[in-house]
Amino acid sequence: MDNLSSEEIQQRAHQITDESLESTRRILGLAVESQDAGIKTITMLDEQKEQLNRIEEGLDQINKDMRETEKTLTELNKCCGLCVCPCNRTKNFESGKAYKTTWGDGGENSPCNVVSKQPGLVTNG
């Protein structure tokens, strides 16, 4: 650099400044793009949360309807409207394995519990 004239040094300084400014502009553009992607992601997650809440409400309503239907069927199976005949006795669907597998039993492995830990990475070797 000892051989460079002051004009060449000034020109090199301007070149470095221009490159730095262009790099800063690219970084700013990427930051704006990242912010837009984040906003879109948050919006989509919020919409999905609302959809899941509506689905859960629908499933709760189905569960409520199933309970009412079971009560009605039990009433229809009563002999003369007084008592259930032993041959017509129905099993409570909530005590079945399929129900507990789907809705859980309120224990640690219940589907209603929040997943707080994901399985780790498995590597060969």
CA-angle at 22, arms to 16 and 24, nearest 5°: 100
Closest C-alpha among 22, 4, 23 to residue 12: 4
Kindly tell me if the per-residue pLDDT of 60 is higher than 90: yes
Report the distance separating Cα 78 and Cα 90, nearest Å.
Answer: 11
* Residue 4: predicted pLDDT: 80
Report the distance separating Cα 67 and Cα 71, nearest Å.
Answer: 6
Considering only residues 119 and 51, tell me which one the structure prediction assigns the higher pLDDT: 51
* Residue 81: predicted pLDDT: 62
What sign for the dihedral angle of Cα 61, 63, 64, 65?
Answer: positive
Tell me: the pLDDT tens digits for 107-116? 555 555 665 6
* Residue 19: predicted pLDDT: 96
State the Cα torsion 40-50-107-68 to the nearest 10°.
-160
* Residue 32: predicted pLDDT: 97
| pLDDT-derived band at 73, boundaries 50, 70, 90 | confident
Query: DSSP string spanning 7-25?
Result: HHHHHHHHHHHHHHHHHHH
